[in-house]
Each structure stands twice: as C-alpha cells, then as structure tokens.
Structure 1
Amino acid sequence: MSQERIYWLAWSKISGVGAILIDRIYQHFGNLEAAWNADSEKILAIDGVGTQLIATIIATRAKIDPHKLSITHSIDNPDWWTRIDPDYPRLLAEIPSAPGVLYYRGKVVPAENLGNIPTVGIVGTRDPSDYGKRWARKISALLASKGFTIVSGLAQGIDTEAHSACLEAGGRTIAVVGTGLDLVYPPRNQALAADIHQHGLMVSEYPAGTTPDRSHFPARNRIIAGLSRVTIVIEAPTRSGALITAHQANDYGRDVYVLPGSLDNPNSLGCLGLLSRGAQPILGLDHLLELLSSIPQLDPSQQLQLFSFEPERSQVIDGTQIPTTESEQITPPDLSPDLQQVWLLMTTSPTSFDEIVSRCQLPVANVSATLLELELLGLVTQLPGMRYQR
C-alpha cells in the first residue's frame, strides 16, 4: 500500500473535514502525509479551517496511527480507492465533492473506471406506479443490451427495478449504497445485492459496519450523479431525493432525461418540474437511444487532476458574526433545531459546504441531510462547487 493512500484514509476519519476541504488541504501541502504532520498554524492558513476544526484535527491525529489504521481498517474493508489512485472512477473524480475514499465490492472493469464504457444513472421514487416500474425495466434492459452500465442506489422502487432488469438482460450494474458494504438496505434486497456483487459492483463512501442513517442517502445521491454520464429520472414527487440527484447531475454538467408522466400522479410532478426547467423528455426507446448517441466521447488523453473549488468568501469562520440583512435574520417557522441552526448560518451570499460544517459543528452526514431538507423546502439553493445560499 502506498504511503500517500494511508494518509487519505486517515484524513477521512476526521469529523468536519469534507471532500472539498481535503482537496484544499492536498493542494496546499502537495500531499496529505505532509499535511498530517504539519503544525496547527500551517493548517490554519488553509481557507475553511478555523480554531474549532483545528482542535478536532489535533485531537483526532493524536488518537490515530495512520499505518496501524490502514492495517486494521483493511481487515473489514479490503478494497478501497482514494482520489489519487489511477483506478478511481474518472467521472466521479471530476465532481467537486468526490469522496476522498471510496469502498468497493464486486467486479472492477478498468475500462468503465476510465470512462470508456458509458454509464447511465436511473433513479426515482421508492413507491412507483406500474407505469414507472414497467418503463424503468424497459429502459434498463434496453441500455444493458446496448452495453451501457446502469447506476442506481439499491433502494426499493425504481432503483430495484433498474438493477434487476439490467442483470436479467445480462448487463452490468453499479449500486451506490448509503451503508457499509457488509450491510444491505433495505433487507429485502439481500438477494439482489448478492447478484450485483457477483456480476457488477457495489460502492460506498462508508466503511464496513456503517448502519442505515437517513443522512447518508442524500449524500450518496451525488455519487450516483457523479458516476453517470446521464441521469434518468423515472418518477419523482416534488420532494424527492431523485430530484436532488438530477439537480446535482445538472451542476456537474451532465445531461438529465425524464420520463414524462401524468398530472394526476403525484410521483410525476417532480419530473414535470424538471422538464419545465430544461431536462430532456424521453419520448420512446428509439428516442432515448438517439439522445444517448449524441453524448460526446471522453478524451482518453485528458489527464484527471484534483481541483480546489474555492467559494466566494465574505464571512469569517470562528464565531465571528456574519453580516446579514434584516430579512436574512428572520427564522422560518416550524423548523427543527438542526434545520434552524444550519439555515441561520446561511445568507444570500454563497457559503461552502465545509464552512457550514465548520461553523455549525454537526457531523458531516447530518449537515448534508439538513441541507437537502432545506433545499426540498425551497429555503436553500445549491450552487456549483458544493456552495449553498438562501
């Protein structure tokens, strides 16, 4: 195991250090081993690191021996990539919030990781209509027969139909899960997960032993969008994780296709909203293949690099009062304490995800789930580069 991979793993264990901040630390020091051994003053010079976060970093570093961690961690997590590994999925590495460590289980196809095999994400409601199930299966089976890899989230409903139809057609599918790879959620998909493990690939940013948590599933949606050249939304109500996946795909510069539905079906309203904002409607299987044929090929000569996505910062981190207008100080009614806490940190100026985590001192997964809820409520907008504003 390379020395640098060990330190990517170690940094992933520090609460409050998200994907964008790890990227920034890497850029600042040139490698994460140097960053791990740096004194607090040098780390504090990095944009997004404040006194509260540096205290967490120092305390966590004192408890972790990176070399011992890599040995013990690999017992239950034998297979994982870091952002600097050549086998790390190319498409995922292009997004600003790509996981620093990605665990995998199953069959790895190098050409797929390089982006030479086209990948299509299929997402939708957990409670689909017969129409939604039927078209999810038809689309997935067709694309599998044409050599596309189907990416979805192993949830019940549209995800299950997409994975199952792909495998039945002899195709390859990738399941992005919100638990450790040693657990299957929902439990009813145990057999499906075993089939994917044998014929496809399962990936997660969470290590073995991580149990289902509502905050994990919004976070995994960005990985589905990141792994996919195109995201297809089959059915989605107006407040749906599938819609967030679609918005993230759009932020990443990826195409979004939508299966049109009926105004009488609440699960179609989110899809109709996407269509009104410019998503491509699927008018039939031949039309879908025509749309997919227009996707440009990736340039194999273009080398991937890690990029720092710097926010436009107008705020001081460590407890300093953020200037706000009178209207920004009004608390929306009926918000839970976590929602209210995060919302009060927001202004009409963009704020980076890592800064929000640093200021509110909540676990990264909780902040991600809270921002998703605020976005679904129409109170927060996500901008490119994992920035948020009211």
Structure 2
Amino acid sequence: MEQHYWVAWSQIKGVGPSRLKKIWHCFGSMERAWQASGQELGAVDGLGDKLIRLILAGRSPLDPERIYHEHLEKNLQFWTPADPEYPKLLLEIPSPPPLLYYQGQVKLLENQGQIPAIAMVGTRHPSEHGKRWTARISQALAQVGFSIVSGMAQGVDGVAHSACLKTGGRTIAVLGTGIDQIYPASHRNLYNEILAQGLILSEYPAGTRPDRSHFPARNRIIAGLTRATLVMEAPSRSGSLITAHYAMDFNREVYALPNSPEQQAATGCLDLIRRGAGMILGETQLIEELGGLPQLDAASPQLSLSFPEPTVEPTPQPSTDFRQISPELLPLWQAIAPEPTAFDLIVVQSGMGADQVSATLLQWELEGFITQLPGMRYRRL
C-alpha cells in the first residue's frame, strides 16, 4: 500500500524529492502523511502555510489506488524509498527520487551497497587522451568487480559504459529521460547492451522526452548511487562538474584525471584537484585508493521509516563495555555500523530526535564507544 501513496504524493505540485523525504521522516509512512491534517503537516520542516494549502487542495480530488493502477499501465517496474530493494546509498542523500524506474538486470547486493559502484563522468567532447584513459580506467575497475555508473551521454559517458561492457563488467546508466527513451539516438546499440548486461535507471516516468532541466537533477542520482565519482575530462563549465559537486555534498570521494593546463577540456578537472579532489595517476594507484573506501555494513538493516520494534542483534564487544548503554538507546547503537555511517542516516534508523542523537553520540565518543569522522560520519570502535 505504501507504493500507492508514494505515487499519489508524486502528483502533488510543489512537493519535490527533498520535501517528500522530510514528510516521510516526519510521519514514518506516506499513507499516514496523506491522511494528515493541515496542522499535522505544519510539523514538517520547510512546509509553510501556502504550501500546506496547496497540498490539501492538490490531494483532495486524488484517489491513490486509482492513480497507482493508472501509473502501472506504463510503469511496471519502479521502487520507492520504502521498498527493501531501493538502492541503499540513495537513501543517504537529501533528495532521493520518490519513484525510481528501472529496466534491465537487477542485482540486490548492488542495491544493498555490497557490490561497490563508481561513477565515471566527463565532457561530451573528450580528447583522445580523455577517451583513452576513460576506457583504461573503466576496464580496470570492471575487472576487479566495481560496477560503473554513468549517464549514457555522448563522449566520456559512452566510452565508460562501452569499455566496461567489453570486459564483461557491470554498468548502470542513469537517464534524464524515461527509461523507454534512447537519448542520444546514436546510443541505441549501447542502450540494448546495457539492458542485457546492466541496468537502466531514471526518476522520470515512461515517455518522458529529453529536457535540459532534467540532466542536472539526474546527476545527483549518479553521485548518490556511488561511493566515488571520477571526472575523466571536463572543461570549466562542464555539466559533469555538477555530479562532482553533488558527490562532495554527499560526503563521497571525488577523483579527477589531470592533463596540461593548455588543454581546455582539462580545466574543470584541474580545478577539482586544486579544491582537494584526488588525482588519477594510474589504474593500480586508483584501485588501491578505492579499495580503502568505506563499504556499507552487510549486516545493517534496510532503512525503514515505519519504526518497527528493534531486534537486538549480537554485536562484537568493543574495548569499552557497551553493555553500559541503556535499553532505550539500543536502537541508536544498532544504527551505527562498524563502517562510517552518516549522521542523517543514524537519526532516521534510530527513530530518535537529532538533538538527542547528537548529544548521545558526543557522550559515546568521550566514553570510547564510537569515533567521529569527517563529514559528520560515525563508526563503532
């Protein structure tokens, strides 16, 4: 039933992915939120009186069950954030797509973050240097088990997908159109190869044609699906830099391929390096560094905002006796993985208020239970 209400909420104008996530967080269920009064909606951060009136007026004539079944006529395959198959890394970002359409070969371990995925992006007009290094890096990463994520655009995107497929690797294309649209048309063969060997994703329903405004928004999904973004070649005004900036905002790693400052196609990469992005100096060096990236804890539960009663799983005892933790704080303890976990994700999984979480984390850090890492991430000791 939750899917019915996610589809219905997606029809309300003025309520985008960021606001929908806040609504979900506040009510724990989109069905419950649909039935909420205007006063109850006022508890959602960022919903002012004007928008609440628009929501109440917009949902009044809508029947969620009818809308859902009409939606299924053209969109059979999609996930919502409440579905266990929804890509786990996307739940960490501020604006996860409320409806994520898919087509191709689904790997649930990949969705759970247990198969590492790396984004490769860049200019639509790469130099021979950019093409050569994109192919080399894509093939090298695919051969050691990384999934390659890109946007199926001309240039670097297409080279990254194709090189990955040639070596028998796994690739994911995130489109700025509906998943049934092939754009650019010259990538028809590539599109079909990805369907057979990888996955095609989009937040736009079937039939959505190319629109310039869709592609910058699409880039947040590319960055959100992956633990690191590689910018292979980009001039200073390249759209691929948007992906890199999203990755930085999401506390993900960013790497850039250097080239001579005389090469206009490299100026965006050089600026990223100046701002602190890692340099791609070769396949071996890059794979070693990517191997050190934090992976999601395979045992951590799928994010659920229905807040069921927590099941206490046995956890390794740290040097400090964590049994001192009071029973009411056990959900918070379980929300912190042995690998770095984002603060926002801890708040959601624990079901506790941000202020209480922050104060408790500080106390636990002083007591030696956990440690804080850059980017407001925490892990158990």
How far the C-alpha of 1:297 sits from its partner, in A, is 2.9
SS of 2:23 mapped into structure 1: helix
Higher mean C-alpha displacement, 226-235 vs 293-302: 293-302
Q: What does 1:297-316 correspond to in 2, within 5 Å? A: 297-305=295-303
Higher mean C-alpha displacement, 179-188 vs 58-67: 58-67
Q: What does 1:74-153 correspond to in 2, within 5 Å? A: 74-153=72-151
SS of 1:262 mapped into structure 2: coil
Question: For the residues of structure 2 that align with 1:93 and 1:235, how far apart are their CA atoms?
Answer: 29
Q: 1:120 is aligned with what amino acid?
A: I
CA distance 1:277–1:306, change in 2 (3 Å) = farther
Question: For the residues of structure 2 that align with 1:90 and 1:147, how far apart are their CA atoms?
Answer: 19
Listed one character per residue, the Cα deviations across residues 185-230 of structure 1 (whole Å, up to 9, x for unaligned) are 1111111111111111000111111111111000010000011111
Equivalent residues of 1:121, 1:230 under 8 A apart: yes
Question: For the residues of structure 1 that align with 2:304 and 2:52, how far apart are their CA atoms?
Answer: 23
Listed one character per residue, the Cα deviations across residues 240-289 of structure 1 (whole Å, up to 9, x for unaligned) are 22111111111211111111111111110010001011111011111112
- Residue 55 of structure 2 is aligned to residue 40 of structure 1: no
Equivalent residues of 2:26, 2:43 under 8 A apart: no
How far the C-alpha of 1:47 sits from its partner, in A, is 2.5
Residue of structure 2 aligned with 1:228, choices 223, 226, 232: 226
Q: 1:273 is aligned with what amino acid?
A: D
Residue of structure 2 aligned with 1:254, choices 245, 252, 255: 252
Q: 2:98 is aligned with what amino acid?
A: G
- Residue 203 of structure 2 is aligned to residue 205 of structure 1: yes
Aligned match of 2:278:
280
Higher mean C-alpha displacement, 176-185 vs 36-45: 36-45
How far the C-alpha of 1:71 sits from its partner, in A, is 1.0
- Residue 289 of structure 2 is aligned to residue 295 of structure 1: no
Structure-2-length-normalised TM-score: 0.77
Question: For the residues of structure 2 that align with 1:302 and 1:194, how far apart are their CA atoms?
Answer: 34
Equivalent residues of 1:94, 1:304 under 8 A apart: no
Instruction: Provide the aligned C-alpha RMSD in A.
Output: 1.7
Aligned match of 1:27:
25
The one of the two structures with greater contact order (alpha-carbon pairs below 8 A, sep at least 6) is 1
Equivalent residues of 1:105, 1:197 under 8 A apart: yes
Question: For the residues of structure 1 that align with 2:237 and 2:148, how far apart are their CA atoms?
Answer: 24
How far the C-alpha of 1:42 sits from its partner, in A, is 2.4
Task: Mark the runs of 5 or more structure 2 residues left unpaired by the alignment.
Answer: 306-374, 377-381
SS of 2:152 mapped into structure 1: coil
Aligned match of 1:271:
269
Q: How many residues align?
A: 307
Question: For the residues of structure 2 that align with 1:217 and 1:300, how far apart are their CA atoms?
Answer: 32
SS of 1:33 mapped into structure 2: helix
Q: 2:162 is aligned with what amino acid?
A: S
SS of 2:149 mapped into structure 1: strand
SS of 1:234 mapped into structure 2: strand
Question: For the residues of structure 2 that align with 1:244 and 1:303, how far apart are their CA atoms?
Answer: 31
Higher mean C-alpha displacement, 292-301 vs 13-22: 292-301
Question: For the residues of structure 1 that align with 2:5 and 2:92, how far apart are their CA atoms?
Answer: 21
| % identical aligned pairs | 53
How far the C-alpha of 1:15 sits from its partner, in A, is 1.7
Equivalent residues of 2:178, 2:206 under 8 A apart: yes
Listed one character per residue, the Cα deviations across residues 34-68 of structure 1 (whole Å, up to 9, x for unaligned) are 21122323223422222332233233213321111
Task: Mark the runs of 5 or more structure 1 residues left unpaired by the alignment.
Answer: 308-383, 386-390
Aligned match of 1:195:
193
Question: For the residues of structure 2 that align with 1:158 and 1:151, how far apart are their CA atoms?
Answer: 12
Aligned match of 1:13:
11
How far the C-alpha of 1:29 sits from its partner, in A, is 2.2
